[in-house]
Structure 1
Amino acid sequence: MIHRVGKIVLRIYSKSILKVDPFSLPRIRNNHLQLPTEIPSISSNNSPRFCHGSCHLFDEMPHRTQCLYPIGFFDVLDLIEYCKVRPNIQNLVNVHALALKAGVLAHLPTSTSLVVAYSRAGDYSSSVAVFGEISCKDVVVWNAMITVAVESEMFRDAISVFVQMMQEGIKLDSLTLVIAILAVSKTIKRLDYLQGVHSLGVQKGLLLDCDLCNALINAYAKHGDLGSSERIFIETEMKDIISWNSMISGCLTNNQPDMCLWYFKKMVSCGIEVDNVGLSCAISASTCLLDLSNGKVVHGFAIKLGYNKTAHVSVQNSLVSLYSKCGDVDDAHTVFREICVKDLVSWNTMINGFSSNGMILEAFHLSRQMQLRRSIQPDAVTILSLLSLCAESMLLIEGKTLHGFAIRRFNRLGVLVINSLMNMYSKCNQMEKTEILFMLSQNRDLVTWNTMISGYAQNGNSRFAQLLFKKLMYQCLKFTLSTVLAVISSCNSPKFLQFGKSVHGWQMILGFTNNILSVNSLICMYTNCGDLKASYALLQSVSTVADTACWNAMIAGCTQNGYFSESLETFKLMRRESDAKHDFVTLVNVISACGNLNLVFHGKLVHGFAHKTLIDEDVRVMNALITMYGRFGDVDCAELAFDLCSNRNLCSWNCILSALSQNKEAKTALQLFQNLDFEPDEITNSTILSACTQLGSIRQGKQIHGHIVRSDFHKNCFIVAALIDMYSNCGRLDISINIFNSSPKKNIASWNSLIAAYGFHSEGQKAISLFNEMIKSGEKPTKTTFINLLSACAHSGFVNEGLRYYNCMSDEYGVEPVMEHHVCVVDMLGRSGRLHEAYEFIENMMVKPDHGVWGAMLSSCNYHGDIEMGKKVGEILFGLEPKNVGYYVSLANAYVAAGSWSDAVQLRNFVQDVRLKKPTGYSLVDVGLY
């Protein structure tokens, strides 16, 4: 370029126009244009009527009156025009000096070109200085300066120049208003300013210009005033393709995909030649509506017009997005492969398509292919798509890999990437890393705070979530509904009820209470905190507009917090008083409530209702039915529901295995496990270990143990607990102890299992020592802990120690005694022969004793041969459970042991008369290597 400039200068020298060396002159001083700091208000009585369109910035000089200039003048002008096309600041300064010496700056086109050239060379201040030195400016110069300010993103300067232009009485043209509209849209984003520019166009009679109308259509749409866009579009007499595209894209921008498609069809019917912009918008509108059939029609129309394979990558990118979001990933991948020249958007759209459809391997494989192409490398959008997939699928290793790649790829992580990383780590239960990212983030936005608050709430750190919310409020940062929803989920127990009420008050102050999501979150909060009255009051307050989600929030909240009867009552109320339709979430929770309440008849009614409404085809509903029938003890119906489930998942297998195991069908469970269609997870292994425990099958238990080690599940606390139970019940207490000791992380389940194992093997002293060790480690005992501990004391004869733990469990450890604890105490006293003390204990209980307590008492009477007390206890049991043959047999055996044969015969005859039958006893022998 410098060589070309030199040749032109030499030609000028040869014509003796200049007598000095132009390139030896210093650069001119930059004199900045003084712009008004306040933008005057632009108003008119004429209200605007239109909007949207494509703005053509100042680029080409309009024809001005030309005068005769000396030879060489146009050579200088050529130099300036060349510097506009290929901007270089040093060359431009030299040419400026050359023009100054030649005396051609009085020529307006030359000065105007110089203003534009400096801007394109990146020296906006010199453009301002040159503009300020022009003495007699016409509209073209003013338009050039406004354009320069807009292209340099100095939008307020552009508006100031526009205002100054009006103040000096310069006659505006349509291009002036087009550029002014762009400046207003970019910086102020106030509708009244746009209306002021529109009014000027009406006053000056410039609305006949199609470009101005298109700019107004586009601007109004971006300001959210689609009605004004439509009015301008209708009144535009000479509509071009840009007019139609502006209207179509404006509808899409304002979330009106139906209107977008209507205008697209109207454009086609009017015979307007469709381009890639209109096609892309129509495809995007079909994507928003998830209308695959309509999208395929537009795809076919695009192929007919020749927009396939070789041209217009934007159309093909839109098609990839359409098929991906509509679930047709194969067709999306087909379109992607046919793109000849893929850009970055193409790769990101396809990767996002795989991610959103849960295709983990495909998404990472495609990102790897993208890296192998050196011309296109992953950007922040690529990272965000993959991090979102890692967060949803809890892929911690892959997420860490992406974190490292992002650090290497970018000099500085943007706030969007940091927020996505925080979300990934919190979903993977890595709150320490989430906290580090939060603390190191220098440019936190509201999403950063919301992600941190939500992460604490999801990981059980409710206190931290609430403290961070208070800190956010203290810093006076503006928060949104997302912030409130994040912190309200931390109120998940009665101790947080007061804080939840405070957040409710904030929602009312900020006007969020009319939002359905807000109401649903409050219903869940009050239900989780045990305030059902407040939950129902909220539901009633929105009953007229309550949708299915509102009712589901109430029903699910009741079911998940143990209010099963209230859940069923809410379901009845929903069907009776609401127009909202139930869905799978409704029925899953109602079925669960029936199962927990053991309401066999109601459960079958709900099953029939699900079948009638075709919701029983949903795999989640079928899984709930399998679990429900398992709780009813109806193994046949559970197996039938499993067989009828056409699209089983791993949860389906876990449900049926659990149902079989809970109902003493361990052998059937093991046989079914051998036909498992999926790779077993932690729940599967725990369930099948329970079946091995019931059978005492150490051979199969060891095989499953080996599979657990190979699958790296042996570190899971619940798996460890199940292994301890299995080996203990199979007589290998030593292996149970080794598994417990080798476990790197122990939870309460592991401690409880080993305490139970010691008790089962009459190692009461070791059970007590282990309990004390657990307390020293900081683990808080549960009701199961004391059941196992009291049982161990009972089997080992440590009555006094057992009574001491029973008496202090509430005061010292905060565990309120339940019926199982009472049974253990009665059994403990009864085994030691203290029958009268046991009977007195039962009579002094604060709650009414159930059959388990009296059954333990009857067993002790039988063991010690106390016929009188046994008869008294037996009569109580016969009243509680008249069909339980075990009580009759136990009392009859007590009569035989005491020599009272007549009473024993009489009792056995009674059992035969009422046709009670004791289940047949059997023994199992596991043949194989141990």
Structure 2
Amino acid sequence: MIHWAVNTALRKSWKPILNFISFSFPKSCNNHSPFRTESSIINHTLSPKFYHVSHHLFDEMPQRTQVSTTIGFFDVLNLVEYCKVRPDLQNVVNVHSLAFKIGVLDHLPTSTSLIMAYSRAGDYPSSVAVFGDICCKDVVVWNAMITSAVENGMFRDATRVFVQMLQEGIKFDSLTLVIVISVVLRFTLRLACLQAVHSLGVRKGLILDCDLHNALISSYAKCGDLASSERMFLGTEMKDKISWNCMINGCLSNGDPDKSLWYFKKMVSCGTEVDNVGLSCAISASTCLLDLSYGKVLHGFAIKLGYNETLNVSVQNSLISLYSKCGDIDAADTVFRGIYVKDLVSWNTMINGFSSNGMILEAFHLLRQMQLEGSIQPDTVTMLSLLSLCAESMLLIEGKTLHGLVLRRFNGLSILVINSLMNMYAKCSQMESAEILFMSAQDRDLVSWNTMISGYAQNGNSRCAQLLFKKLMHQCLECTLSTALAVLSSCNSPKFLQFGQSVHSWQLRLGFSNNILSLNSLICMYTSCGDLKASYALLESVSTVADTACWNAMIAGCTQIAYFSESLEAFKLMRRVSDAKHDFVTLVNVISACGNLNLVFQGQLVHGFAHKTLIDEDVRVMNALITMYGRFGDVDCAMLVFDFCSNRNLCSWNCIISALSQNKKAKTALQLFQNLDFEPDEITNSTILSACTQLGSIRHGKQIHGHILRSNFHENCFIVAALIDMYSNCGRLDISIHIFNSSPKKNIASWNSMISAYGFHSEGQNAMAIFNGMIKSGEKPTKTTFINLLSACAHSGFVSEGLRYYNCMSDEYGVEPVTEHHVCVVDMLGRSGRLNEAYEFIKKQVVKPDHGVWGAMLSSCNYHGDVEMGKKVGEILFGLEPKNVGYYVSLANTYVAAGSWSDAVRLRNFVQDVRLKKPAGYSLVDVGLH
């Protein structure tokens, strides 16, 4: 036995999980005992001399004499009790050996305490060995063994011990059942097991025990059976504060905060003492309900009870969470600053409060303060909260800093932190860093896979997202709805329709078809892939139960892929067959569809509908209305909406400046920009640069350029494109070239602007060189690229080159010609005098040419004085746009150039008779510094 006890000292220690049964014994059996008090024995025997003394006693036992300092029965008992409270494996081994030598192991309380001491020291096998050596075991010993198994996570062993106890006919007590209840909560069929334990308690007449009753109330709630929990609570004759707390917390954990607060009120009205547990749960229930007024009442109640001055900070932590979630961050900070001794939860709750309220600087400042104080260091929860903030706000530098902090402070990265880091890097468009973390993770879980799949999809890499999903299927992990939602977001174009259909089938097989989130994602997928028939069929199949999100998925999906008419039809169907109420998302997309289709009357109707349902007060709806009226050319209505908006944001200013700029109100746009209430962002600067381009105002353009440099926006590709356009249109091609060449990153907008700049200055050769450079860089040309390139060829006389680009744009680059390209080709042929060829080109078009194409043809006829062709083209244009006075004037000028004055006079008289008026032309001169 001594050899076995000494060997157990080599076993590694373990941190206890639960608080277990304590046994108290008398320190002495009579008042004349020579033994010392517990404190004096502990101070003496557990000092460094203790090991020497015990070793000496083992060696000298045969020659030991009985003196007043001899360690006896109660000394050993006190030592065992001490080791149970403050477990240390070496001390437990020494005390065990000492107990063996003086022969007190037959004393059941001593052996029982040794079982617990070994358990808490992390040596579970020794606990089993001590238990096996006990001959006559009572219920307390059995309870200690079951507790030891639970404490060390050996839940199956705990169950086996309890079954053995039943088989041997040992009479268990209520404490046994309380311990067993903590075990069955770990099982899959925990509710059935709990009911079996409950039945045992009823059959043995133990159910009246208060502790067992409370354990059953709490456990039924944890199993999700709140009704049984309430029945147990109502059946309790003597309800103590633990009973009430179990019921209050049970309702809260089962998603019924209203009932949780009801029980708290009943508890107070019954006069039961309120402790920090019940009060914290009540505050948490108010937080769930976002009921700040009742939360403040509870805060006052806590102050009255003195919980603002105690060292137990759970109530204050709950108050911080309440105020943070309800948006009163100043009150949360006041509570936090008032805590005398802050624990880790206090710091984490306050940091999370700053994060959730978008107070980035304050959150990181609090992290720094936490580290400087030094008493409490950040943990995984701290890092997860801040990494989530970095992900949502796309703070790459701060996220990398947190990554470094985690590597320095933590011994290895937990999978939770790795997943959060991957999410942060994915949101910041750093998929390479996310991939490195994913590949290096040894114990990656389903969240890791879902994060990477979603990251690829969000960053436009649909192929990688789908390949990773297929690899996940081969891993045979049990996928969840989150996996389906992640991979479906990668199906965003017609080429991925077949893959999306296979994912749909997979979802049906797994039983996700009735989930509303699954339906929304499928509707979005089919709409994005252009299969509106399938999308509508899916929506109609659930139209009676479809919620607002389902309809929004259809309406917004159609709007985003420019199916504006279908978006409006879906909105009409929603109003006709569904009980779902529209929200701001619905109206924003419907308003956008009206604006893009130039449906003025319908847009006004939707505006009235929004006003009637009070949704027009939402700033997002206001911004959509400003943009819609801007597209209608109704600047006055756009300004009225802007002036009416009381809570306008930077987007509101951007919308009105853009509307003014698009409608040739550049001067008004500049004046509005000077009164901007916010710091301008990239969109503001690019929009106002467009206004400067219209005015030819290089003075204002240079001022805005300076502001862009100070704000560090000069590397933004769209800002670069706007600057190139502005300087080019103001006659400073040299500055445009310098900006383009010095730009570290070039996107398609930059390339297109530079091609346009060269074309505007009749440098077609350089425009073609820029186009070739763009192709070599791997950038794919767009519709705008070829419009600018063909225009440059037309202005520089490169007809054969222009025709070659037009003929190859579809086959080589996948850009289908549209009206704008046809206008450029007609203009190019017309400028070179090849009018018949231009006319034949128009006639060969499959789609009927519109007024723009014929207008370019008429201008060429005017330029070359071809009266016959001009008459023919003019008649076509008068039929297409009879009220466009410009065509009449252009044809009249053609008559004048050819000397046909009578025809010119006749045409001008006709214009006067029908009261058509040509807008007066004007020129702008910017007086100031250039």
Q: Structure 2 matches for 1:351-390, cutoff 5 A? A: 351-390=351-390
Structure 1 position 523, deviation (Å): 0.5
Partner of 2:276: 276
Identity of aligned residues (%): 83
- Whether 2:423 is the aligned partner of 1:423: answer yes
Deviates more, 1:498-507 or 1:246-255: 246-255
Structure 1 position 29, deviation (Å): 7.0
Q: Structure 2 matches for 1:432-447, cutoff 5 A? A: 432-447=432-447
Structure 1 position 75, deviation (Å): 3.1
Instruction: Write the distance in 1 (CA, Å) between the matches of 2:322 and 2:168.
Output: 52
Instruction: Write the distance in 2 (CA, Å) between the matches of 1:387 and 1:777.
Output: 35
Higher relative contact order (CA 8 A, sep 6+): 1
Q: Structure 2 matches for 1:49-128, cutoff 5 A? A: 57-60=20-23, 72-128=72-128
State the one-letter code of the partner of 2:164. Q
The alignment's C-alpha RMSD in Å is: 2.0
Q: Structure 2 matches for 1:510-659, cutoff 5 A? A: 510-659=510-659
Partner of 2:238: 238
- Secondary structure of the corresponding residue to residue 266 of structure 1: helix
Instruction: Write the distance in 2 (CA, Å) between the matches of 1:83 and 1:814.
Output: 80
Instruction: Write the distance in 1 (CA, Å) between the matches of 2:822 and 2:75.
Output: 108
1:145-175 deviation line (CA, Å, top 9, x unaligned)? 2222222332222222111111111111111
Q: Are 2:8 and 2:93, in contact at CA under 8 Å, matched by a contact in 1?
A: no
Partner of 1:855: 855
Instruction: Write the distance in 2 (CA, Å) between the matches of 1:386 and 1:111.
Output: 49
Partner of 1:12: none
1:478-497 deviation line (CA, Å, top 9, x unaligned)? 11000100000000000000
Deviates more, 1:585-594 or 1:611-620: 611-620
Instruction: Write the distance in 2 (CA, Å) between the matches of 1:690 and 1:543.
Output: 45
Structure 1 position 590, deviation (Å): 0.5
Structure 1 position 85, deviation (Å): 3.2
- Secondary structure of the corresponding residue to residue 780 of structure 2: coil
Instruction: Write the distance in 1 (CA, Å) between the matches of 2:298 and 2:860.
Output: 82
Gaps of 5+ in 1: 1-21, 33-54
Partner of 1:46: none
Instruction: Write the distance in 2 (CA, Å) between the matches of 1:246 and 1:30.
Output: 44
Partner of 1:509: 509
Partner of 1:765: 765
Q: Are 2:23 and 2:113, in contact at CA under 8 Å, matched by a contact in 1?
A: no
1:545-580 deviation line (CA, Å, top 9, x unaligned)? 111111111110111111111111111111121111
1:615-634 deviation line (CA, Å, top 9, x unaligned)? 11111111111111110111
- 1:432–1:92 distance in 2 versus 1, CA, 3 Å: closer
State the one-letter code of the partner of 2:172. L
State the one-letter code of the partner of 1:610. A
Structure 1 position 127, deviation (Å): 1.8
Partner of 1:729: 729
Q: Structure 2 matches for 1:865-884, cutoff 5 A? A: 865-884=865-884
Partner of 1:698: 698
Instruction: Write the distance in 1 (CA, Å) between the matches of 2:110 and 2:775.
Output: 89
Q: Are 1:692 and 1:726, in contact at CA under 8 Å, matched by a contact in 2?
A: yes
Instruction: Write the distance in 2 (CA, Å) between the matches of 1:709 and 1:515.
Output: 50
- 1:308–1:75 distance in 2 versus 1, CA, 3 Å: closer
- Whether 2:318 is the aligned partner of 1:318: answer yes
Partner of 2:5: 28
Partner of 1:306: 306
Structure 1 position 397, deviation (Å): 1.2
Partner of 1:790: 790
Q: Are 1:27 and 1:97, in contact at CA under 8 Å, matched by a contact in 2?
A: no
Instruction: Write the distance in 2 (CA, Å) between the matches of 1:131 and 1:335.
Output: 50
Q: Structure 2 matches for 1:168-187, cutoff 5 A? A: 168-186=168-186
State the one-letter code of the partner of 1:58. I
Instruction: Write the distance in 2 (CA, Å) between the matches of 1:904 and 1:721.
Output: 44
- Secondary structure of the corresponding residue to residue 712 of structure 1: coil
Alignment: residue pair count: 883
- 1:87–1:834 distance in 2 versus 1, CA, 3 Å: closer
- 1:137–1:31 distance in 2 versus 1, CA, 3 Å: farther
- Secondary structure of the corresponding residue to residue 762 of structure 1: coil
Partner of 2:901: 901
Partner of 2:918: 918
Instruction: Write the distance in 2 (CA, Å) between the matches of 1:76 and 1:446.
Output: 52
Structure 1 position 68, deviation (Å): 14
Structure 1 position 118, deviation (Å): 2.4
Deviates more, 1:603-612 or 1:98-107: 98-107
1:760-782 deviation line (CA, Å, top 9, x unaligned)? 11111222222222222222111
Structure 1 position 250, deviation (Å): 1.3
Instruction: Write the distance in 2 (CA, Å) between the matches of 1:751 and 1:159.
Output: 72
1:791-846 deviation line (CA, Å, top 9, x unaligned)? 11111111122112111211121111100111111111111111111111111111
- 1:67–1:306 distance in 2 versus 1, CA, 3 Å: closer
Instruction: Write the distance in 2 (CA, Å) between the matches of 1:559 and 1:336.
Output: 46
Partner of 2:214: 214
Instruction: Write the distance in 1 (CA, Å) between the matches of 2:89 and 2:629.
Output: 82
Deviates more, 1:474-483 or 1:869-878: 869-878
Instruction: Write the distance in 1 (CA, Å) between the matches of 2:328 and 2:31.
Output: 68
Instruction: Write the distance in 2 (CA, Å) between the matches of 1:778 and 1:813.
Output: 12
1:40-75 deviation line (CA, Å, top 9, x unaligned)? xxxxxxxxxxxxxxx983212599xx9999984333
- 1:851–1:277 distance in 2 versus 1, CA, 3 Å: same
Q: Structure 2 matches for 1:126-137, cutoff 5 A? A: 126-137=126-137
State the one-letter code of the partner of 1:676. L
Q: Are 1:31 and 1:128, in contact at CA under 8 Å, matched by a contact in 2?
A: no
- Secondary structure of the corresponding residue to residue 334 of structure 1: helix
- 1:811–1:84 distance in 2 versus 1, CA, 3 Å: closer
Partner of 2:743: 743
Q: Are 1:261 and 1:285, in contact at CA under 8 Å, matched by a contact in 2?
A: yes
- Secondary structure of the corresponding residue to residue 809 of structure 2: helix
State the one-letter code of the partner of 2:766. K
- Secondary structure of the corresponding residue to residue 926 of structure 1: coil
Instruction: Write the distance in 2 (CA, Å) between the matches of 1:735 and 1:101.
Output: 97
Structure 1 position 188, deviation (Å): 5.6
Deviates more, 1:99-108 or 1:808-817: 99-108
Instruction: Write the distance in 1 (CA, Å) between the matches of 2:89 and 2:822.
Output: 92
Structure 1 position 97, deviation (Å): 2.5
- Whether 2:788 is the aligned partner of 1:811: answer no
Partner of 2:666: 666
Instruction: Write the distance in 2 (CA, Å) between the matches of 1:98 and 1:388.
Output: 55
Instruction: Write the distance in 1 (CA, Å) between the matches of 2:462 and 2:176.
Output: 58
Structure 1 position 376, deviation (Å): 1.2
Q: Are 1:76 and 1:98, in contact at CA under 8 Å, matched by a contact in 2?
A: yes
Q: Structure 2 matches for 1:222-261, cutoff 5 A? A: 222-261=222-261
Gaps of 5+ in 2: 10-17, 35-71
State the one-letter code of the partner of 2:800. N
Deviates more, 1:267-276 or 1:452-461: 267-276
- Secondary structure of the corresponding residue to residue 207 of structure 1: coil
Q: Are 1:27 and 1:93, in contact at CA under 8 Å, matched by a contact in 2?
A: no
Partner of 1:48: none
| TM-score normalised to structure 2 length | 0.92
Partner of 1:842: 842
Instruction: Write the distance in 1 (CA, Å) between the matches of 2:83 and 2:825.
Output: 98
Structure 1 position 504, deviation (Å): 0.5
Q: Are 2:191 and 2:223, in contact at CA under 8 Å, matched by a contact in 1?
A: yes
State the one-letter code of the partner of 1:655. C
Structure 1 position 346, deviation (Å): 0.9
Structure 1 position 77, deviation (Å): 2.2
Q: Are 2:481 and 2:512, in contact at CA under 8 Å, matched by a contact in 1?
A: yes
1:592-632 deviation line (CA, Å, top 9, x unaligned)? 00000001111111111111111111111111111111101
State the one-letter code of the partner of 1:840. E
Partner of 1:684: 684
- Secondary structure of the corresponding residue to residue 713 of structure 2: coil
Deviates more, 1:76-85 or 1:683-692: 76-85
- Secondary structure of the corresponding residue to residue 812 of structure 2: helix
Q: Are 1:883 and 1:916, in contact at CA under 8 Å, matched by a contact in 2?
A: yes
